[in-house]
Homo-oligomer: A and B are copies of this chain.
Amino acid sequence: MHRFNANQLTIIGTGLLGGSVALALRQAGFTGKIVGVGRRQETLDTAIGVGCIDTGTTDLAAGVAEADVVLIATPVQTITHVLRDLAGCVGEATIVTDVGSTKRDIVATAEDVLPHAGRFVGSHPMAGNTGAGPEAADAQLLAGKPCIVTPTKRTDAEALATVEAMWRTLAMNLLTMNPAEHDLQTALVSHLPHAAAVMLVLTAAAEGGWDVASTGFKSTTRLASSNPPMRADIMINNRAALLDAIGAFEKQLADLRGKLESEDYDGVLDMLNRAKDIRDAWVEVRFANEEES
């Protein structure tokens, strides 16, 4: 396995995710310099204080000038803006990656504006989001979680190998897909379920039913309690794929509606059996060593 190595890694955005990457790299023995770039010196000072970064600057050009690798770890809706700013100051050889939870727009923008399209590799480390800021950074946040990388035909092999090595060093489980696949798959299993949770809550709120709601409702709607501004950003950013996922969901809804209207017990049972078989098989493989919660 290619081992992650660099004289300097620059992390733009030293919040929960960027800070956690830095801490985990240090814990894994990374010896290069880690530079933070942020909008507020206070946040950078905190990040230095908790050991996430060696130095910090609010000057993007200064922060990336000597970087071998740049990681953009800002909120998803700002990543394309950061890429445009970066375009004017990043070196041609510098490898650039990101942590954005949508990929089509980000990868297209990166390949369009950066001096060397081949040096950009889209990444999406899928780690939970509790807490915020460098003070919440956690070296264990990413270990064992999936990380999707989205190379294209233009991505060069060395850049891809370096970025993959970085995520592997953090013990993440790497998956590779193209940016459009990434956006549809995450829409199907993350953004659509989140939307469904929100809509179930709003439906119950409009029509009543709270007195009898219990643990089943609580599990099904858990995602509705996650960070609204962050999730709204992701939904708007990934709206094309989310609308496709909603279209596919509406087909299932029409199917169920028809079966209920015609009192088709066997048809309803068939849907429920298929769903249970598929989910149980997935849970068994995906959470092999965990209890169902």
Contacts and interface: CB of A to CB of B under 8 A. Distances in A.
Interface in A225-253: 225-226, 228-229, 231-233, 235-236, 239, 242-243, 245-246, 248-253
Main secondary structure of the interface of A (DSSP, over half): helix
B256 A199 contact: yes
B245 A203 contact: yes
Interface in A241-293: 242-243, 245-246, 248-253, 256-257, 260-261, 263, 265, 268-269, 271-276, 278-280, 282-283, 286-287, 292-293
A17 to B, nearest CB: 16
Interface residues of A, number: 92
B220 A239 contact: no
A220 B222 contact: yes
A124 B182 CA distance: 44
Among A199, A208, A272, A274, residue most surrounded by chain B Cβ atoms (within 10 Å): A272
Contacts of A145: 214
Interface stretch (A3-11, A36-44, A185-193): A185-193
Interface of A: 126, 128, 145-146, 148, 175, 177, 181-182, 184-190, 192-226, 228-229, 231-233, 235-236, 239, 242-243, 245-246, 248-253, 256-257, 260-261, 263, 265, 268-269, 271-276, 278-280, 282-283, 286-287, 292-293
